């Protein structure tokens, strides 16, 4: 396993991160613990969870905490082997302090997460969603407090755009506070909305840790045109979490699978390797339900894709338009 730097944190993480959003349902505790141990045995040292995760049972405002409790049990005697990340900010209860990024919410939420995770600290604390009702200074001040207390080693963000990251970095410079070291975004070769933000992350040493890299299973090759929905797939188990692909998407999947064949890779491994080849990538968050899926993701992380095939992918699933400046800065004024 070749480890990668997590932005400017100095932390080294495996290129695959074990995602735990489905811990609780459909992945029950006993199996989740086994999968966590299997991932560690394969060299995966990065585990991603959140205070709201509880699998398919999740509804807006439910208390969450299920995945954190399972992860805490799985890491008994193994805490020093992993880089542990959890999140704050999404609704996890009915009260006014159960959502958002106020100082009170952040400080209380982390203490609750630490108790569930059975640890004294988390390596990476992640702002789950932007909070337009709380000043960024308030949020960053709380992160500074946790950092100085030793309860977090670094902090990152999730679902933030480049301009929001820019403001966070500016405020950190202004006040001498810790900087965001990571950005967690929805990203895959089918979902490239954040593609243009990757250069900003590379320029400012922010490690990107995307989720949905297999697009809910669409990029595993299990969904075929005109074929029934596979048993045990996400679309079969929880259709509210994934829609059956439209014909245009099926066209892209078929063309991509053909390209993966040219690289001598199954579609799932090709999708992992393609994502890791993009700028600023630190680790891909992959949710799994079986040991085979973990092994497959690890094999994908070892693969490389020739430049000409990467260019061919751009023709199938093109990146978003990138504006070019109408003029260049003169060499002399």
Instruction: Answer yes or no: 321 catalytic.
Output: no
Cβ 301 vs Cβ 273: under 8 Å: yes
pLDDT exceeds 60 at position 82 = yes
- Average pLDDT score over the chain: 93
CATH code of the region 4-214+275-302: 3.20.20.100
What's residue 226's pLDDT? 82
**DSSP state letter for 76:** T
Place of tokens 């290129």: 15
pLDDT in tens, 150-199: 999 999 999 999 999 999 999 999 999 999 999 999 999 999 999 999 99
Query: Which residue of the set 53, 125, 211, 223 is catalytic?
Result: 53
Mapping DSSP to helix (H, G, I), strand (E, B) and coil, where does residue 88 land?
strand
Average pLDDT over residues 116-127: 98
Listed by start position, the domains of the chain span: 4-214+275-302
pLDDT in tens, 99-115: 999 999 999 999 999 99
Instruction: Determine the Cα–Cα distance for residues 154 and 178; give it in Å rounded to an integer.
Output: 8
What's residue 241's pLDDT? 66
pLDDT in tens, 187-246: 999 999 999 999 999 999 999 999 999 998 999 988 888 888 778 777 767 777 677 888
For Cα atoms 134, 136, 140, give the angle at the middle one, nearest 5 degrees. Answer: 115
What's residue 242's pLDDT? 73
pTM score, two decimals?
Answer: 0.92
Phi, psi of 147 (to 5 degrees): -65, -45
What's residue 324's pLDDT? 58
What's residue 60's pLDDT? 80
């Amino acid at each position: 396993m070749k480890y990668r730097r997590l932005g400017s944190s100095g932390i080294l993480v495996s290129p695959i991160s074990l995602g735990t959003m489905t811990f609780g349902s459909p992945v029950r505790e006993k199996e989740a613990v086994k999968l966590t141990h299997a991932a560690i045995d394969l060299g995966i040292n990065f585990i991603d969870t959140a205070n709201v995760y509880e699998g398919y049972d999740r509804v807006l405002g439910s208390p969450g905490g299920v995945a954190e409790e399972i992860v805490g049990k799985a890491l008994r005697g193994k805490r020093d082997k992993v880089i542990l990340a959890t999140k704050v900010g999404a609704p996890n209860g009915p009260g006014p302090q159960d959502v958002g990024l106020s100082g009170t919410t952040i400080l209380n939420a982390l203490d609750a997460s630490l108790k569930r995770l059975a640890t004294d600290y988390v390596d990476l604390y992640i702002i789950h969603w932007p909070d337009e009702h709380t000043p960024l200074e308030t949020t960053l001040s709380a992160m500074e407090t946790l950092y100085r207390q030793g309860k977090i080693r670094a902090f990152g963000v999730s679902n933030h755009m480049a301009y929001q990251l820019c403001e966070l970095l500016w405020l950190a410079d202004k006040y001498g506070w810790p900087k965001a070291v990571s950005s967690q975004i929805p990203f895959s070769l089918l979902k490239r909305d954040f593609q243009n933000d990757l250069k900003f992350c590379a320029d400012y040493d922010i490690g990107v840790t995307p989720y949905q890299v297999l697009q809910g299973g669409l990029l595993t090759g299990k969904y075929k045109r005109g074929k029934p929905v596979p048993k045990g797939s996400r679309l079969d188990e929880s259709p509210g979490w994934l829609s059956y692909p439209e014909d245009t998407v099926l066209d892209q999947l078929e063309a991509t699978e053909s390209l993966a064949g040219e690289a001598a890779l199954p579609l799932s491994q090709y999708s992992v390797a393609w994502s890791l080849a993009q700028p600023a990538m630190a680790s891909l968050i992959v949710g799994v339900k079986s040991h085979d899926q973990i092994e497959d993701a690890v094999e994908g992380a070892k693969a490389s894709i020739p430049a000409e095939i990467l260019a061919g992918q751009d023709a199938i699933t093109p990146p978003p338009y990138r504006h070019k400046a109408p003029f260049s800065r003169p060499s002399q004024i």
